[in-house]
Structure 1
């Protein structure tokens, strides 16, 4: 597959530093972009996790300018490899409301519109105005309990503890241009456009990329205990296109004010547009990272989906039925300082099989004499 890298990198890519992965004929390679030039770092850093741990972002063998693209036969991969893939949920007020709707509708999209209208007027502004874990948040919780409106989703929206979960196994995420999967037995699902932070083993964030935390609203709506089935399926985790590394020109403050745009172009001519405004997040991104690290150990580092403001309610087929994916939907997630991630929807059943797990990855590197460079 040919890639126009300039089309998926931010406009100021020549001033930024980027880290990513590609599949070459011999196996996965680690690539960097600096000064508008692509470099192969694999001879010194055979994994992105290792490059992040050792801060090996410089050097490498020059491949050529970004304008020339990747070498023939190379294909972009997800820009992470051995890192654990974590995600945070219900980090925006709208997301909290939608999760309560899912819970009360028991995963039935047809009932959601009526419940949504009743809830938004009563609790929407209240959630937006409080800091999670604060005394004001506790007051709001007490008031909602009295009204019989409390929910486990509101607990993680305004309580002291964020919802943090494991999104996908190591090495299972897909990159730009790949197919993304929803379960074939899901009737209500949607993309979740998010900023993904990349951290080393000590919780120090080194950069950011984009992600699609594909979600099955019918499964999670029936029971929060079905979260793993709603979130972790073949090809249900897309990350890319590259990690933009933090430097003097791109910092965590750029993440805090990032505008993440989403478009869905359906095969029948349907189009949906949405935005995820990081300025409206209820918890600071670095607080989410700290809660993810907590008392865990991630020796190869971790990445964290920060959650989304986007919750599609626009009807697609029937009035009141809301939005759900169709096969062939093209989902494009874009942020001005990070880049563009685009994927086409299929079912998890029909998506290309995930075959390069940790064992195969290490065997491939061993055959190339690169294990010591991981």
Structure 2
């Protein structure tokens, strides 16, 4: 089952049928057994016709977030560890990433408030004061206020690698700025956990041509999803739930940096494709 946040409300897509849900986003998703609740809805609701459904889905799709915070985990894949060690070698910080990869406690950091999150089809920004900018494709969890995983979406954790590489203490500046995160296109809700074999693929297009592409699977993640959730909820309360990006698994080479106009496409099996165009923030000259 897929929940889409659209301009006119909430659309539930299940077995190729669409259902409009009359509810408020935060209260809908922040519940236990969200999958069971949605099954009751479509069992007792008349689906909309295909033309109306397609019209909704071809229009503007908002990010699947209400007033939640977005957090992120780092260095959860070997490729991410190696890339971070490479970028920070000249600053002497390479050992930090090697140590956290094998440490009992994961790296967790605050990423965004809802205001700074873009949906599919929208722009994400790169910083003007960074010479090396990359997207980071991440399986993203929605966790309700009780600490239970209720859904999955795709996350793009935009990162300024030159800033973080200069000094690890600059991570907040490298990670947190306007439109530095994207979520979408939907919230996948299922009774069972997402399969470890689920594929994650990223394609970056420049002037219509493929500038970078790679793929992997969720199974390559070193830590379990419940482990990451457990650390996030140890000393934090999330009254309306929270989103947790689970770490990047695909890393463009050091010679690659994003440019305005690039299009980033991130696909995760079972969820869909998150598409964003790279831009500069026009408000900050």
TM-score (norm 1): 0.69
Q: CA, structure 1 residues 150+183, in 2 after alignment: closer, same or farther (shift >3 Å)?
A: closer
- SS of residue paired to 2:88: helix
- SS of residue paired to 2:237: coil
Q: Residue 53 of structure 1 aligns with which residue?
A: 30
Misfit runs of 4+, over 6 Å: none
CA deviations over 1:191-233 (Å, ceiling 9, x no partner): 1111111110111111211111111100111111111111111
- SS of residue paired to 2:117: coil
**Which of residues 10, 28, 35 is equivalent to 2:15?**
35
**Which of residues 181, 197, 203 is equivalent to 1:263?**
203
**Which of residues 338, 343, 346 is equivalent to 2:279?**
346
Q: How does 1:236-315 map to 2 (within 5 A)?
A: 236-247=180-191, 251-254=192-195, 256-267=196-207, 269-313=209-253
CA deviations over 1:107-160 (Å, ceiling 9, x no partner): xxxxxxxxxxxxxxxxxxxxxxxxxxxxxxxxxxxxxxxxx9972212221101
Q: CA, structure 1 residues 162+23, in 2 after alignment: closer, same or farther (shift >3 Å)?
A: same
Q: CA, structure 1 residues 164+177, in 2 after alignment: closer, same or farther (shift >3 Å)?
A: same
**Which of residues 211, 220, 225 is equivalent to 2:169?**
225
Q: Residue 187 of structure 1 aligns with which residue?
A: 131
Q: CA, structure 1 residues 61+164, in 2 after alignment: closer, same or farther (shift >3 Å)?
A: farther
Q: Residue 7 of structure 2 aligns with which residue?
A: 23
Q: Residue 98 of structure 1 aligns with which residue?
A: 83
What is the CA-CA distance between 1:72 and the residue it aligns to? 9.6
CA distance in 2, matches of 1:307, 1:168: 15
Q: Residue 330 of structure 1 aligns with which residue?
A: 263
Specify the structure having the higher radius of gyration (Cα): 1
What is the CA-CA distance between 1:84 and the residue it aligns to? 1.5
Q: Would you say the 8 A contact 1:37–1:66 is kept in 2?
A: no
CA distance in 2, matches of 1:72, 1:246: 20
Q: Would you say the 8 A contact 1:40–1:63 is kept in 2?
A: yes
CA distance in 2, matches of 1:233, 1:276: 28
CA distance in 1, matches of 2:177, 2:79: 25
- SS of residue paired to 2:244: strand
What is the CA-CA distance between 1:257 and the residue it aligns to? 2.2
Q: Would you say the 8 A contact 2:154–2:271 is kept in 1?
A: yes
- SS of residue paired to 1:327: coil
CA distance in 2, matches of 1:228, 1:194: 18
Name stretches of at least 5 consecutive residues in structure 2 with no aligned partner.
none
Q: Would you say the 8 A contact 1:193–1:276 is kept in 2?
A: no
TM-score (norm 2): 0.89
Q: Residue 196 of structure 1 aligns with which residue?
A: 140
The structure that is helix-richer by fraction is 1
Q: CA, structure 1 residues 288+73, in 2 after alignment: closer, same or farther (shift >3 Å)?
A: closer
CA distance in 2, matches of 1:324, 1:73: 30
- SS of residue paired to 2:201: strand
Q: Would you say the 8 A contact 1:40–1:61 is kept in 2?
A: no
**Which of residues 152, 163, 166 is equivalent to 2:96?**
152
Q: Would you say the 8 A contact 2:85–2:93 is kept in 1?
A: no
CA distance in 2, matches of 1:61, 1:223: 56
Q: Would you say the 8 A contact 2:74–2:246 is kept in 1?
A: yes
Q: Would you say the 8 A contact 1:39–1:64 is kept in 2?
A: no
